[in-house]
Amino acid sequence: MSKIKPSKGAPHARILGVGGYRPTRVVPNEVILETIDSSDEWIRSRSGIASRHWANEEETVTAMSVEASGKAIANAGIAPEQIGAVVVSTVSHFKQTPAVATEIADKVGAGRPAAFDISAGCAGFGYGLTLARGMIVDGSAQYVLVIGVERLSDLTDLEDRATAFLFGDGAGAVVVGPAEEPAIGPTVWGSEGDKSETIKQTVAWTDYRDGTVDKFPAITQEGQAVFRWAVFEMAKVAQQALDAAGITADDLDVFIPHQANMRIIDSMVKTLKLPDHVTVARDVETTGNTSAASIPLAMERLLATGKAKSGDTALVIGFGAGLVYAATVVTLP
């Protein structure tokens, strides 16, 4: 018989607050066209993107995260020192160690929480949210700060016609805490490593260090392959998340997919047969693809503009490099 005492966590978990930060510099498509042979019409028709935000020297991964986190903590109505864990999803923090989560935890005044980074690409926010839910229910933390943050402008090849227009910078954060009723559903997540070559870093850091290549590493992708996978396979995952939560598309109020491409979003809406009453996040038009930050940024904007409201039922799904994915149903804060 085990001598270990059972955990004393909360019965359920929910998102209590959300915050976002977008860099001050707005970059329209015209700037992108200075380095690639394309047109504003082509970029808009293929991606739905009209502009994106790029960070300046002061808007570091840490600085943007701290700004977004401060808003999320205030929105949640808790004190920073109540945070028991900080989870940061990013692929654009360029120090292998220490985890940027530790620096962010200190700067937001969280005291001495558990703090770590995860690398799950555009599905990173969903991974972090799932880990946070587990910590709350397990009892290892009362409140968890989950951050998705990227400075993808540092990893963008401005001469790559397939990707130069896609990426933006920003940070989104949520506070997850205890709840008496289910407010974060089961996560449907996974990976398809046999497709890892479809979205990847162009070369290893060691190749650049050793002089094997003279061009700084960037993110590249096989656009058509990614599009087909996202449209056909991720709609299935989204439906599985609805089924796992015990609801149908008619029960949804909001749909917040990863902001990768407007055509992907519209195709998923059609495949899922979402009713007209469901509000769909289309933040990609003015924010671009911010990878791990895209879902919390889109969530924050929908709530701030009144297009979504507290208590709404939302389906969120992230998908990207790996290839990895994560989908769940949540109650909005």
Q: Which residues belong to the active site?
A: 122, 258, 289
Burial code of 262-271, b = ≥16 C-beta within 10 A, e = fewer? bebbebbbee
Integer angstrom CA distances of residue 262 from 191, 227, 316 = 23, 11, 15
Q: How far is CA 97 from the centre of its chain?
A: 22
Helix, strand or coil, per DSSP, at residue 189: strand
- Whole-number Å distance between alpha carbons of 190 and 325: 6
Strand arrangement, sheet containing 143-151: 12-21, 169-179, 143-151, 83-89, 114-118
Question: Residues 175-209, buried b or exposed e (16+ Cβ, 10 A)?
Answer: bbbbbeebbbbbbbbeeeeebeebbeebeeeeeee
| Residues 292 and 315: beta-carbon distance below 8 Å | no
- The residues facing 116 across adjacent strands are 87
Q: Residue 109 burial (CB < 10 Å; 0-12/13-18/19+)?
A: middle
Q: Which tokens belong to 42?
A: 């082509």
Nearest of 108, 156, 146, 94 to residue 289 by alpha carbon: 156
Q: Are 327 and 237 in contact (CB under 8 A)?
A: yes
d(CA 274, CA 277): 8
